[in-house]
């Protein structure tokens, strides 16, 4: 067995690139290193602004979080989870977190700038997407989800508002404020869910009701499969122009989800209907792409994805969105 003498592992998040001697050393950044531009979006606890790095001229999206507001509303834990989850990600389909810093009032997260905004806007404008376009975005979202899960994270708030588009119309998934980080040693993932069973306080209700998985509404622990449910909702939405479980109130939306009250428009493509029906399955372990059904690999084999070259999706030309 390994000797543990002398070599103390530092309990920090220090990585090689934090070492000035490392060839890829990234200089620390702070508030004054950026020029701030227009507001890109506003949430309950945060504002996202364009930030230009004065040293390099490169543009970023800077998420500015109000400390007092976060503390007062008991959201500290979620702000930390967002940072920790984003730090684990290294994928073209997910916004990268470059630096974090703070001043007296705020925390700042410096992220990839996705200049073309939300997939939501394009669905509103252009849906139903043609088969090729919907397939392309579904494939990119699936690959991003696969990466998120491979890093031990469940996003839990996949929806078109959180799927951003970069200069080349490829996706960047954002907003890990609802994420769950699976403890690395949890052989049984079902064990640690103090927060999930607690429906009253469960923050997963903060987001849009329409994408909530049925297991969450049954107060069961959320597993990776919740993100596959959300993928089913997004695929439906790209083809139908609206989310699958729409209703006048959150209560009625929850009823529809729990009962899987699902109907398709007449012109909905057959192969899309088939994959959506296999993703929007009440029982998470029976959902296509669940560990029990063969994992995400099995989902990639569905005829909906016929012709997708999974190896070259990120280098490929995105379909024209107009």
* Residue in 53, 66, 84, 157 annotated catalytic: 157
- Could you say which residues in the range 39-78 bind ligand ADE, by CB under 6 A? 40-41, 48, 61
Q: How many residues of this chain bind ligand ADE (CB under 6 A)?
A: 11
Given the complex with ligand ADE, which of 39 and 199 has the nearer CB atom? Answer: 39
- Interface with ligand ADE includes 114 (CB under 6 A)? yes
Four-CA torsion 308, 313, 318, 319, nearest 10 degrees: 0
Given the complex with ligand ADE, which of 118 and 196 has the nearer CB atom? Answer: 118
- Could you say which residues in the range 77-96 bind ligand ADE, by CB under 6 A? 95
The full DSSP string for 27-52 is PP--GGGEEEEEEEEE-SSEEEEEEE
Picking from 201, 215, 299, the residue whose alpha carbon sits closest to that of residue 257 is 215
Q: How far is CA 123 from CA 134, 210, 236, 316, 322, in A?
A: 10, 16, 11, 21, 11
The owner of tokens 């622990």 is 221
Beta strands in 166-253 (DSSP E): 171-173, 180-181
Among 111, 139, 281, 296, binds ligand ADE (CB under 6 A): 111
Among 51, 75, 112, 244, binds ligand ADE (CB under 6 A): 112
Given the complex with ligand ADE, which of 41 and 319 has the nearer CB atom? Answer: 41
Residue 171 CA to residue 93 CA, distance in Å, equals: 5
Span near ligand ADE by CB under 6 A; candidates 110-118, 183-191, 224-232, 244-252: 110-118
84 catalytic per annotation? no
- Active site residue ranges: 157
Residues near ligand ADE, by CB under 6 A? 40-41, 48, 61, 95, 111-114, 164, 174
């Amino acid at each position: 067995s390994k000797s543990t003498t002398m070599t103390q592992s530092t309990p920090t998040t220090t990585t090689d690139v934090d070492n000035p001697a490392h060839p890829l050393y990234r200089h620390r950044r702070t508030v004054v290193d950026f020029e701030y531009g227009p507001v890109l979006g506003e949430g309950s606890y945060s504002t996202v602004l364009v930030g230009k790095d004065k040293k390099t001229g490169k543009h970023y999206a800077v998420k500015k979080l109000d400390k007092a507001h976060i503390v007062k509303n008991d959201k500290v834990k979620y702000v930390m989870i967002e940072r920790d989850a984003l730090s684990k990600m290294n994928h073209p389909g997910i916004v990268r977190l470059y630096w974090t810093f703070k001043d007296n009032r705020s925390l700042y997260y410096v992220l990839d700038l996705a200049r073309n905004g939300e997939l939501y806007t394009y669905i509103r404008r252009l849906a139903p997407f043609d088969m090729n376009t919907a397939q392309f975005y579904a494939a990119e979202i699936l690959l991003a989800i696969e990466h998120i899960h491979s890093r031990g994270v469940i996003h839990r708030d996949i929806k078109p508002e959180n799927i951003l588009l970069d200069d080349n119309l490829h996706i960047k998934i954002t907003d890990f404020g609802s994420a769950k980080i699976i403890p690395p040693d949890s052989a049984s993932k079902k064990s640690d869910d103090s927060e999930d069973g607690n429906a009253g306080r469960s923050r997963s209700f903060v987001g849009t009701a329409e994408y909530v998985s049925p297991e969450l509404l049954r107060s069961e622990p959320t597993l990776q499969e919740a993100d596959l449910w959300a993928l089913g909702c997004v695929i439906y939405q790209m083809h139908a122009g609206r989310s699958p479980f729409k209703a006048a109130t959150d209560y009625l939306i929850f009823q529809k989800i729990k009962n899987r009250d699902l109907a398709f428009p007449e012109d909905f493509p057959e192969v899309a209907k088939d994959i959506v029906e296999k993703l929007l399955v009440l029982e998470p372990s029976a959902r296509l792409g669940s560990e029990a059904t063969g994992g995400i690999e099995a989902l990639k084999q569905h005829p909906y994805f016929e012709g997708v070259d999974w190896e070259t999706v990120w280098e490929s030309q995105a379909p024209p969105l107009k």
